[in-house]
Every structure is written in structure tokens, then in C-alpha cells.
Structure 1
Amino acid sequence: MASRSPRPRTALSVNLNKVALVRNTRHLGIPSVTRAATLCLQAGAHGITVHPRPDERHIRAQDVHELAELLKAWPDREYNIEGNPFHNLMDFVHAVRPQQVTFVPDSEGQFTSDHGWNFPADAERLRPLIAEAQALGARVSLFMDAEPGQMAAAKAVGADRVELYTEPYAAAWHTPQRAAQLERFRVAAQAALDAGLAVNAGHDLNRENLGTFVHTLPALSEVSIGHALIADALELGYSATIADYLRCIAEAA
């Protein structure tokens, strides 16, 4: 096991869905999801994230279990399993007991996550599932739009954290709306903190826009990054890519 520097305020969790997506185009077992996880962890990533959808178009059930076994050798790192708790997610939570569960309101055939939970509409059906996951030892994060008025409601149903859906910020990066979107996320994060929630973030964050986001939201607990990070790793390799994302976080802090 590789050594690493102390955990920063903002942890980096690597989403491996796109590694599995490439693997699934053939029947050769390459690229290996567990090998990718090992290389990311050796390079200093603080956690691994997977989003196993019911159609198994990328992460498969076997991957979830193999990664759980792998992470037993890395007790200081975290396993985050995300997905819709009304589909297949809770079976995995019971089976592998991840450190964190992120509830995401995806439909079964949804291309990618594109919106957060809505309160009060989703409150009563989420409440028992949050309690169930917590009883199994998992921290529960709710995937949420950057809406300050929703944060107290997320806390009220029992969530430990929220994961802010950052695609609107990323989409505005090269537009005049960048500053307004950044402020919107800052206000939403502060509302979450004021409600007693910790704050994660993810979706379309990359080496270009990550530093500014972390600097503006200094109490950010974790970023979960997949698509851009894996794309960078195709060019730079896992070790150099993880190092550069950690540099972005460290310099922002």
C-alpha cells in the first residue's frame, strides 16, 4: 500500500463508471476496474465511487463486490456507492456496507444524472431508506440541485450530506454566467452548512474548473469526479492525473 500525505479538507473520490463502460464493449475484461481503482488509490485518491445502474451498462454487480473486497486493504479510503435507492442500490448497501451512499433520483434508462431530489415531494419516501442505510453504517448524501431553500429539508429527512450537482457551473465556465453560477453554488453550500449538512459536489468537474470551485467553497468535504478524470488518464496515465487533480485541490485550499 502506498503512503500519502494527510487528507486535505476536500477529498477526491474517483468515479470508475467510464472504465467499466469501455471494458463492456468487449468480452476481454480489459480495462480492469479493480486495476484502475488500485492505481488511483496508489496515486493518492481518497476514495472510489461507482454508480451501478440496473441495466449494468457500465458498473456491474460483480464490480461492486470486487471493489469492496479491494478496499479492505485500504482502510483509510472510502467507498461511495451512488444510485437510485428505489432501484437496485439498497441491495448493494446491505451486501458491501460502503462508508458512503449517495442517493440519486435517476430513472432507469437515464443517460446521466441531471437533477437532484425535490422537497417536500420526495421527503417521506426517502426518510426510511436514509435511516436504513445509516443503520448499516453508511453516511448518506443526497444528490441535490444548488437550491438554498432545499437544504434544510434535506437535513430534516435525516441526510448527513448533500452532493451538489455541478453541471450548471461547469457548463457556464466559458460564458458570462460563470460568476453568477459560482455564487449560486456558494450560497447553496452555505445553506447546507447552516442546516448542519456536510457538502460534496460532482458532475463535469475537471482540472480547469475544479480549483476555482474548491476555493470558493472552502468547506467542501469531497468531490466525486469520473468522466473528465478518466479522459485525462487516457492521455496522462492514472498516477499523473490523480496527482494533478490533487494539486488543483491543494492549491485552491
Structure 2
Amino acid sequence: TGSVYVFRTSDGGATYGQVAKLTASDAAGDKFGYSVAVVDGATIVVGAPNGEAAYVFRTTDGGATYDEIAKLTPSDGAAGFFGGSVALAGGTVVVGAYADDDGSFLSAKTKSGSAYVFRTSDGGATYGEVAKLTASDAAKDDYFGYSVAIDGATIVVGAYYYGSNNWKGSTYVFQTSDGGATYGQVAKLTASDAVAGDYFGWSVAVDGATIVVGAPNGEAAYVFRTTDGGATYDQLAKLTASDAAEGDRF
């Protein structure tokens, strides 16, 4: 079934105490808690991929209690580990479904993957699906949506299994220019020194103009940045551990 625990500090981080335990209102055996995201200290999103759902919780009393306010599911009924990854920024929620068999041009059981975007315009009372994101070059077993991140108008989606069975991986950047009504792919990121099996895109993060992509089998993380509003992204750095050892999956 699964559960999520919420801890808060009231002394600047010196100590933390548990304030809530979150569970889904309607499901068992759904892997609730497989993924979590939190924003502004008041809203939490929890993925439950075996139930093909993500749940939104909110507190209105400073964290003393949390109420389930929405259950998010894909409008097309896709069964593809929806909820395996979640991200949250403002009133927008992104939910990955990396095992989604999307694309009519592909055969059944493709696991090309997808990510869904939901928005609220009434302070979280309701959420509606506004977009389904897929890779412009989607292929079998890409696992697009294994990782997701959002900041402002930018959504980043990892596809760590991309690469015609060499699993080098890739990451895709989407942006909205109309307040979230629509999203378009603006970039595809790959490692400059990619080798087979890197799993580039296993994890992703975005902050403003900067994107970080993890490649655990390559024992590295890559930093990309845009200086033209997202039209192009350049790789700025490759990060590795100073004391790296084989198998660390840094």
C-alpha cells in the first residue's frame, strides 16, 4: 500500500519532528510513496505507480494536518507506471509514466514513455490535465519519463534507456510560452562524452536557466545552461566525485 511521512522543524533546522503520515484514500498495493515532491511547504505530491495515480495533499494550518485534495490519473487511461516520478512547481504538477506504450507508429509494449502535465487555476481545489509530453524521436524502451523536473516555464524529462539498445540515455527540455496551456520541446540533451550504458537521464533537476542530469553508470552528473531563453543549451561541466570508486553510481 505504502505511506509517506512528513517532518517539520520549528527551530531553524536544529531538530525535526513527524507531523503527519499520508496514505491514499482509496488504494492498496499501489506503491504509494514511490515518488514524492513538495513545494512552498504546503503542497505535497505522491506517486503511486502500481495504481497508475498521483495524489496531491495540502495543509492550511502550517503543517499540523494535511488533506488529500486531488487524485491525478491520465486522461487516456495509459497503464505505464504513471506516478513513477513526480515534480511540482507553483500550480503545475508533472507526472512521469516511463513504461507508457505511446505512439501509434510503434508496436505494442514499447515502453517509449511519456509525462503528463496537470495545472490548477483555483488554488488547488481542482487539477486538470493540460498536456501529455513525448519525445520527438520516441523509440522502443526509451523509458522517457523515468525522471521529471519543473521550474517556472521549463519541464525536463529524462529517458535514461534511450539509444538503440546502447542505453547512453538522453534528456528532453520542454517550455511553455502561454502560461502552461501548451508545451513544446525546445531541446534534447546528451552527454558530450557519452558511452554505452551511462544511463544519462536517470535523474534530472532544473533551476532557472540551469539543468543538471545524472548518469549513474557513467559515475557523473552533467550541467547544462541556456543564455538565450531556452533556444539552446550548452554543456558547462561534468561533475564527478573526488573519491570516486567503481560501482558508486554517482
Tell me, yes or no, whether TM beats 0.5: no
Greater fraction of residues in strand: 2
Greater fraction of residues in helix: 1
Structure possessing the higher relative contact order (Cα contacts under 8 Å, 6 or more residues apart): 1
Rg: which structure is higher?
2
Q: Report the TM-score when normalising by structure 2.
A: 0.30
